[in-house]
Amino acid sequence: MLGSLRNLFIAQKTRLEPDAPDAATRLELAGAALLFEVIKADHEMDDREFTSIAEVLRAGSARNAGDIEELIELARRESGEATSLYEFTSLINEHCNYEEKCALVRNMWRIAYADSQLSKYEDHLIRKVSDLIYVSHSDFIRTKLAEKNQAAQPE
């Protein structure tokens, strides 16, 4: 599975014509890689952040737990090998509508608040991605506050 997902992501880099399922898989990988970038941003990888990314990916997919773990591992690798955010954000811009972009930003905030601490590096990364995917500043703030309030709710 990892090999096939990786090949799908590489196909996008070479601009091969994708069919619909492959494009969806590459898009899911790009989103997962951006979520993983949030985990890496503060240089402190917390188990709560890994749990949160798995929950986010599971909620947006019909994949089983094993597939989600593989997707996270592949996202970690792609994130580590990426030379810029462009290879992820360009896919988001090409295939997502504005509401989907706002949902991605909100999920990034969810990962950032998973460890109950928001670092300036996480904030900066999410702000940068928001700008790159053309999410307005007001929606950037709206999603941040919504997720901050959600994180503050006792479970």
The structural domains of the chain, with segments of one domain joined by +, span: 2-152
- CATH fold of the domain at 2-152: TerB-like (1.10.3680)
Q: What is the pTM of this model?
A: 0.81
Tokens 């901050």 locate to 148
pLDDT at 94 over 80: yes
CA distances (Å), origin 54, targets 11, 35, 124 = 25, 10, 23
Max mean pLDDT among 15-24, 67-76, 125-134, 142-151 falls in 125-134
Interval 134-146: pLDDT, tens: 999 999 999 999 9
Alpha helices by DSSP H, listed for the chain, are 2-13, 20-41, 47-59, 65-81, 86-95, 98-113, 120-132, 137-152
